[in-house]
Amino acid sequence: MKMKKKTLDQIRRQITRVRAAGGFYAKRLKNIDPEDIQSQADFEKLPFSEKADLRDAYPLGLSAVPASEIVRIHSSSGTTGTPCIIPYTKKDVEDWAELFRRCYEIAGITKDDRIHITPGYGLWTAGIGFQLGAEKLGAMAIPMGPGNTDKQIQFMKDMGSTVLCATSSYALLLAEEIEKRKCRDRIKLTKGVIGSERWGPKMRARIASELGVELFDIYGLTEVYGPGIAINCEYETGMHYFDDFLYFEVIDPKTGKVLPDGELGELVITTLQKEGAPLIRYRTHDLTRIIPDDVPCPCGRKLPRIDVILGRTDDMVKVKGVNIFPGQVEDVLKDIEGASSEYQIFIDHENGKDKITLFVETPLKTKKARRALEKTIKDRIKSVINVGVVPMAVEIGDLPRSEKKTTRVFDYRY
């Protein structure tokens, strides 16, 4: 995507500011003169930053303002123990509320809605972001937080909640509990705003039909405000994001090269207005693509779009010289009739060549139907991912399930 001139100005200003502030980016960019950033190509030479950098800056090394300007901190969990602390100024908090308000608006939510918020409150940015946006919109926020299903359903009925904000797994649990209690007719929900975890299209369809609501994927991460930086509209052509606040790039996670629009890779975010903790070329490790803008969204918004998050780029494997992401395989399978969402990829080295076997569960029973399905899968994977696979259709339930994160790729080459 071509960078706007205004974006380039915003980036130059931000670099000037972080260099003057001391802290992490002053060190990282000490040899960069903002005036040397005159084009998108110049910008794309700037170094990336990573979660590890943010952790190393613990506690407040990321801050680009005097401590007296910080009105709040949030923290994202670090798997290695040290958390990342993200400081917010008053303007950052207001901006986040505005971004979230826009998200609700894109989802068709208005001030007449009653927004039932189940994500948690606290250091984590989830619940409070949903609330700020609701209040800014002028809707009624119902700040439930997670857990206590009985109370959730009671409040949904009594308060007449019209919008449910939840993770996909909690939305599904609530849907099942409503069904169990046979009280669907007393629930007024019309929309679900679902964020924070990756969820397949099949789970999405289940939540939508069981709750009887229209669903919206909301995207965000604590390092960049929190949830509320991108959302799909009713046409589901990807998630619209706000390019006056954020600059998105998609890169090849191995080489760091910026990819053309439409190609799948890692989302990299640069903040354009953040004061407390600006980020420059922050690697999210989220797998997505920028939706080419040659076909505008039917909603008429000029906002750019990214695809729904298809997984983490850390799961990437390189086979036959091609980068393959499990999320990408899943994306192809979801459009193939007869293929379920359960699959596994086995990579082997045979006769001096890499071989990919793709096991896919199917409800199809006859040998003929399964052979036809395998051929479709083979052709579709070849045309989309440009790699040859040997598909094997297997019975539903044949592939092992795991409680925790499902392993999709088994690499036996080494």
User: Which residues of this protein are in contact with Zn ion, per CB under 5 A?
Assistant: 233, 297, 299, 301
Q: What's the closest the beta carbon of residue 20 comes to Zn ion, in angstroms?
A: 39
Q: What's the closest the beta carbon of residue 229 comes to Zn ion, in angstroms?
A: 16
Residue in this structure with the two tokens 């290695």, named with its chain if needed:
80
Q: What's the closest the beta carbon of residue 402 comes to Zn ion, in angstroms?
A: 36
* Rounded Cα–Cα distance for residues 270 and 50 (Å): 12
CB 188 within 8 A of CB 198: no
- Helix and strand numbers (H, E) in the chain are 11, 20
Helix (H, G, I), strand (E, B) or coil at 344: strand
Nearer to Zn ion among residue 103 and residue 317 (C-beta)? 103
Q: What's the closest the beta carbon of residue 288 comes to Zn ion, in angstroms?
A: 16
Q: Compute the Cα dihedral for 274, 41, 51, 260 and give only its sign.
A: positive
Query: Which residues contact residue 406 at a Cβ distance below 8 angstroms, ignoring those fewer than 6 apart?
Result: none
Nearer to Zn ion among residue 233 and residue 364 (C-beta)? 233
Nearer to Zn ion among residue 232 and residue 323 (C-beta)? 232
Question: Residue 37: which of 229, 247, 230 has the closest Cα?
Answer: 247
Nearer to Zn ion among residue 109 and residue 233 (C-beta)? 233
* Rounded Cα–Cα distance for residues 139 and 156 (Å): 15
Q: What's the closest the beta carbon of residue 98 comes to Zn ion, in angstroms?
A: 19
Q: Compute the Cα dihedral for 227, 229, 234, 236 and give only its sign.
A: negative
* Rounded Cα–Cα distance for residues 149 and 169 (Å): 13
Nearer to Zn ion among residue 65 and residue 239 (C-beta)? 239
Nearer to Zn ion among residue 204 and residue 240 (C-beta)? 240
Nearer to Zn ion among residue 54 and residue 107 (C-beta)? 107
CB 378 within 8 A of CB 391: yes
Q: What's the closest the beta carbon of residue 110 comes to Zn ion, in angstroms?
A: 17
Q: What's the closest the beta carbon of residue 297 comes to Zn ion, in angstroms?
A: 3
Query: Which residues contact residue 253 at a Cβ distance below 8 angstroms, ignoring those fewer than 6 apart?
Result: 265, 266, 283, 285, 313, 316, 323
Tokens of 320: 């036959």
Residue 312 amino acid letter? R
Q: What's the closest the beta carbon of residue 219 comes to Zn ion, in angstroms?
A: 14
**358, containing H or E segment:** strand 353-362
Residue in this structure with the two tokens 């390019």, named with its chain if needed:
243
List phi, psi (to 5°) of 159.
Answer: -90, -10
Nearer to Zn ion among residue 238 and residue 327 (C-beta)? 238
